[in-house]
Chains A and B, each alone.
Chain A
Amino acid sequence: MAAHPKTFRHSLSRFTLYLMLIVSSVMMIVPFYWSVGTSLKLERFVFSNPPQWIPNPLVWVNYIQVLTRIPFPRYFANSVFVAVVVTLGHVFFDTLAAYAFAKLRFPGRDQIFFVMLLALMVPFQVNLIPLYKIMTILHWNNTYLALIIPNLTSIFGIFLMRQFLMTIPNELLDAARIDGCSEFGVFRKVVMPLALPGVATLVIFTFMGTWNDFLWPRIVINSEKLFTLPVGLALLQMKNTSNQAQIMAGTVLTALPMIIVFLFMQRQFIEGMTAGALKE
Chain B
Amino acid sequence: MTAISLPHRFKRSVQKYTIPYLFIAVPVLSLIIFLFIPMIISFWWSLNEYTGLTAAKFVGLDNYIKLLTDDKIFAKGLVNTTLFVLLGMSIGPTLGLLTALMLNQNIRLRSVFRTAYYLPVMTSLVVVSTIWVMLYNQNGLFNTILQNLGLHKIGWLSDPHVAMISIAIASIWQGFGFETVVFLAALQSIPRELYEAAMMDGAGGWAKFRYITLPFLRPVILFVYIIGIIGSYQVFDQVFVMTSGGPVNSTTTIVYYLFNRFMNHRLGYASAVAYTLFAILVVFSYLQMRISREKA
The chain A residues found within 8 Å of chain B, CB to CB, are: 17-18, 20-21, 24-25, 27-29, 31-32, 34-35, 38, 46-47, 49-51, 93-94, 96-97, 99-101, 104-107, 109, 112, 116, 119, 121-134, 150, 152-153, 155, 158, 182-184, 187, 208, 211-212, 214-215, 218-219, 229-230, 233-234, 237-238, 244, 247-248, 250-251, 254-255, 258-259, 262-263, 266, 269-270, 273-274, 276-278, 280
B20 on interface, CB distance cutoff 8 Å: yes
B38 A277 Cβ-Cβ under 8 A = no
A214 B113 Cβ-Cβ under 8 A = no
Set A46, A214, A255, A266: member contacting B123, Cβ < 8 A: A255
Bound form: Cα–Cα A50–B230 in Å: 41
Bound form: Cα–Cα A262–B112 in Å: 13
Set B24, B267, B278: member contacting A126, Cβ < 8 A: B278
Set B21, B42, B113, B125: member contacting A127, Cβ < 8 A: B42
Bound form: Cα–Cα A208–B4 in Å: 55
B126 on interface, CB distance cutoff 8 Å: yes
B23 surroundings in chain A (CB, below 8 A): 96-97, 99-100, 104, 183, 187
B274 A233 Cβ-Cβ under 8 A = no
B224 A277 Cβ-Cβ under 8 A = yes
In B240-278, which residues have CB < 8 Å from any A CB? 240-241, 244, 255, 258-259, 262, 267, 270-271, 273-275, 277-278
Bound form: Cα–Cα A157–B271 in Å: 27
A251 B113 Cβ-Cβ under 8 A = no
A94 surroundings in chain B (CB, below 8 A): 27
Bound form: Cα–Cα A101–B281 in Å: 27
B277 surroundings in chain A (CB, below 8 A): 123, 125-126
B38 A127 Cβ-Cβ under 8 A = yes
Set A38, A125, A278: member contacting B186, Cβ < 8 A: A278
A262 B186 Cβ-Cβ under 8 A = no
Contacts A127-B35, A129-B267 hold; do A251 and B185 have CB atoms under 8 A apart? no
Contacts A47-B144, A123-B277, A255-B123 hold; do A215 and B237 have CB atoms under 8 A apart? yes
Set B52, B134, B240, B281: member contacting A121, Cβ < 8 A: B281
Set A21, A106, A263: member contacting B113, Cβ < 8 A: A21
B124 surroundings in chain A (CB, below 8 A): 211-212, 214, 229-230, 254-255, 258
Closest to A245 in B: B134
Closest to A16 in B: B102
B38 A155 Cβ-Cβ under 8 A = no
Contacts A121-B282, A130-B37 hold; do A93 and B148 have CB atoms under 8 A apart? no
Bound form: Cα–Cα A113–B123 in Å: 31
Contacts A123-B277, A130-B37, A237-B133 hold; do A97 and B26 have CB atoms under 8 A apart? yes
Contacts A21-B113, A28-B117, A50-B144 hold; do A129 and B237 have CB atoms under 8 A apart? no
In terms of DSSP, what is the predominant structure of the interface of chain B?
helix
Contacts A94-B27, A277-B185 hold; do A130 and B41 have CB atoms under 8 A apart? yes
Q: Interface residues of B, CB < 8 Å — how many?
A: 93
B130 A49 Cβ-Cβ under 8 A = no
Closest to A128 in B: B274
B140 on interface, CB distance cutoff 8 Å: yes
A124 surroundings in chain B (CB, below 8 A): 234
- Contact string, B136-158, partner A, CB cutoff 8 A, digits 1/0? 01011100110110000000000
Write 21 A-B pairs (CB below 8 A) sorted by A numbering: A21-B113, A28-B173, A31-B131, A31-B173, A34-B141, A51-B144, A97-B24, A106-B17, A112-B28, A116-B31, A121-B282, A123-B277, A127-B42, A129-B262, A218-B240, A237-B130, A237-B133, A254-B124, A258-B123, A259-B122, A262-B119
Contacts A28-B120, A153-B26, A237-B241 hold; do A47 and B139 have CB atoms under 8 A apart? yes
B55 on interface, CB distance cutoff 8 Å: no
In terms of DSSP, what is the predominant structure of the interface of chain A?
helix
Bound form: Cα–Cα A238–B34 in Å: 31
B140 surroundings in chain A (CB, below 8 A): 47
B189 surroundings in chain A (CB, below 8 A): 278
Bound form: Cα–Cα A153–B38 in Å: 17
Contacts A127-B42, A130-B37, A130-B41 hold; do A254 and B126 have CB atoms under 8 A apart? yes
9 nearest A-B residue pairs (beta carbon): A127-B38, A212-B124, A130-B38, A25-B116, A130-B41, A100-B23, A274-B185, A47-B139, A230-B126
B271 A129 Cβ-Cβ under 8 A = yes
Set A99, A153, A247: member contacting B130, Cβ < 8 A: A247
A273 surroundings in chain B (CB, below 8 A): 121, 178, 181-182
Set B111, B134, B278: member contacting A247, Cβ < 8 A: B134
- Contact string, B221-235, partner A, CB cutoff 8 A, digits 1/0? 001100000100010
Contacts A34-B135, A127-B42, A129-B262 hold; do A153 and B27 have CB atoms under 8 A apart? yes
Determine which residue in B20, B27, B182 has the highest number of CB atoms from chain A within 10 A of its CB, and name it: B27
Q: With contacts A28-B173, A127-B38 known, what are 4 further pairs, Cβ within 8 A?
A: A25-B112, A47-B144, A104-B20, A130-B38
Set A183, A218, A244, A258: member contacting B19, Cβ < 8 A: A183
Contacts A29-B116, A273-B178 hold; do A125 and B274 have CB atoms under 8 A apart? yes
A262 surroundings in chain B (CB, below 8 A): 118-119, 122
B219 on interface, CB distance cutoff 8 Å: yes
Bound form: Cα–Cα A66–B293 in Å: 54
A126 B34 Cβ-Cβ under 8 A = no
